[in-house]
Homo-oligomer: A and B are copies of this chain.
């Protein structure tokens, strides 16, 4: 069994952003030389997500509106977590969107459906944060 790991770093301009990382995950897979196996891609921070959905600006706008309805950022004092911090909402949004994606590797490629794109979802940005890519297989 082979394994490969890589950190990818982000520093978003806005508090909330969705970044398509599919090409960076493909690159990590190529570097690994693994032909058959699994890739785990997970946020290393607990106010961010890795998820798979459509690369469509209208949908990303819908995510923003929807997550703000389900777990609003403000008023900050609605969350007990917000003593020294103001990111209580980000911890909740990340539960909806998920921490990680596990993706099959087949014949050296990401085995994704026709519209599947991998995203980094940032809910408390404007600072350096990372995700982990770990690949196991042969």
Contact for A113 among B43, B53, B83, B116, CB less than 8 A: B43
Cβ–Cβ < 8 Å partners of A136 in chain B: 36-38, 136-137
Task: Flag whether A8 is at the interface (Cβ < 8 A).
Answer: no
Interface magnitude class on chain A:
35 or more
Structural contact, B95 and A137, CB atoms closer than 8 A: no
Is A62 a contact of B1 with CB atoms below 8 Å?
A: no
Secondary structure of the A contact surface, majority rule: mixed
Copies of this chain held together in the complex? 3
Interface residues of A in 113-138 (CB under 8 A from B): 113-116, 130, 132, 134, 136-138
Q: List 26 A-B contacts (CB under 8 A).
A: A1-B37, A1-B138, A38-B40, A38-B136, A42-B104, A45-B115, A46-B53, A46-B113, A46-B116, A51-B95, A51-B99, A53-B95, A54-B81, A54-B91, A59-B79, A59-B80, A59-B88, A63-B95, A70-B70, A95-B98, A98-B98, A102-B102, A106-B134, A111-B134, A113-B132, A136-B137
Contact call B46/A115, Cβ cutoff below 8 A:
yes
Quick one: given A111-B132, A137-B3, are A66 and B62 in contact (CB under 8 Å)? Answer: no
